[in-house]
Amino acid sequence: MPANLPPEYFEADARYKEARDTSEKVSALEALIATVPKHKGTDKLRADLRRRLSKLREDVQKRKKGGRGDLYNAPKEGAAQAALMGFANSGKSSLLEALTNAKPMIADYPMTTVMPLSGMMPFEDIQFQLVDLPPMGNETTDGWVSGIIRNADIVLMVIDLAEDPDAQAGLLMGQASGWKVKKPIIAANKTDAPGAGDALKLLREKYHGTCPVIGVSAVKKDGLEELRRAVFESSGVIRVYSKEPGKEPDMGTPFTVPSGTTVLRLAEIIHKDFLSGLKYACVWGSVRFQGQKVQKDYPLKDRDVVEFHV
C-alpha cells in the first residue's frame, strides 16, 4: 500500500467494498481509481485497480449474454432483500410497481408473472430490494421460487383480502415454516375491496404477536409507508454514518450494518487500516453525552455517527 493516499481514497475504497452487485462495483471502482494521485509511488496500485476493473467489465458483458441460470435468480442488492410470496392475483406485481421503480406485468388472470423481477424500494435514506415472483402452488416454478424465498432476508406474504384471506394465510404460513422462513411480514392487500376491513381485522387477531400484519392497497396506494417501515424493522439493519475528526459527518450515504454491530466490527467493514490502528472512537446518537468516547465493543444503534481515531 503506497503512502500518501488522500482521505478520499479510503472513503471511495469503503464504498467499493460495500458495493453489492457487479454494476455497482464497476462504478465504485471507477470512482476509486479517480482518487489515486498519479505518481511513481502509485503505479502498481493503479495498474492493479485497472486490472480489477477490466475483469469486472468482462463479467458484466458475460452476464448480459445471459442464460437460464441468470434469469431465474435474484442477486441481492441494497440494504436487504425482500421476496414477495403469495397466490395468483393477490397483487404481488402491483405492490412491486407501487413501491419501486420496476415496471412489472399486471393482469387479472393468474400466472401473469413467470420470472423474478427486482425493484429498489426507497425508505428514508436507504433502499431495499423487492423481488416479485410467480405465484405459489405451481409445479413448474416452485423449485426456483422456493430457492429465492429461502435465500431472501425478508419474506413479504401478499394476501388478497377479497379472496378467503384466512385460507391463504394458513397455507402460506405452513409452506414458509416448512422452508424455515424466519418471521415473515403479512401484506394484506386490496383494503379497498368490499368487506376487506372485517377480513383484515380477523387476520390481525389471528396473527397478532406472530408477525406484523399490514393492511395495504396497491391500487389506492394506502398503507405503503407502514409497509416500508415494517420491512426496515424486520430487516434488522441499522444505519451508521462516519465522521472524520474536525469535520462534519458524512450524512450522504449511510453504512447499512446488522443491528448490534460493534464499533470494532464497523472499523473492520470500513477499512482494515482503521481496525489495526484503532485507538478509540467517539459516537453521536445513542450515547448519553454526544461525542462521547466509547469502548470498541460498543453496540451501535440506528443513526449513530462514529468518529474513528487511529
Ligand X SMILES: Nc1nc2c(ncn2[C@@H]2O[C@H](COP(=O)(O)OP(=O)(O)OP(=O)(O)O)[C@@H](O)[C@H]2O)c(=O)[nH]1
Of 79-98, binders to Mg ion (CB under 5 A) are 92-93
- 36 vs 218, beta carbon nearer ligand X: 218
Residues 6+ apart with CB under 8 A from 114: 134, 141
141 binding Mg ion? (CB under 5 A): no
CB 265 within 8 A of CB 281: no
Pick from 90, 100, 113, 261: which binds Mg ion (CB under 5 A)? Answer: 113
Q: Determine phi and psi for 20, rounding to 5 degrees.
A: -105, -15
Q: What residues make contact with ligand X under the rule CB under 6 A?
A: 86, 88-94, 106-108, 110-113, 134-135, 189-190, 192-193, 217-219
> Helix or strand or coil: residue 17?
helix
For the CB of residue 190, give the shortest distance to Mg ion in the complex, in Å.
14
Q: Determine phi and psi for 189, rounding to 5 degrees.
A: -95, 160
168 binding Mg ion? (CB under 5 A): no
Residue 218's binding partner, choosing from ligand X, Mg ion, none, with beta-carbon cut-off 5 to 8 A by kind?
ligand X
Give the C-alpha separation, 58 to 22, whole Å.
10
Beta strands 213-216 and 126-132, pairing class: unpaired
Bridge partners, residue 291, by sequence: none
For the CB of residue 113, give the shortest distance to Mg ion in the complex, in Å.
3
Residue 102's binding partner, choosing from ligand X, Mg ion, none, with beta-carbon cut-off 5 to 8 A by kind?
none
Residue 139's binding partner, choosing from Mg ion, ligand X, none, with beta-carbon cut-off 5 to 8 A by kind?
none
Residue 91's binding partner, choosing from ligand X, Mg ion, none, with beta-carbon cut-off 5 to 8 A by kind?
ligand X
Which three cell numbers, joined as nine digits, stand for 78?
A: 441494497
138 binding Mg ion? (CB under 5 A): no
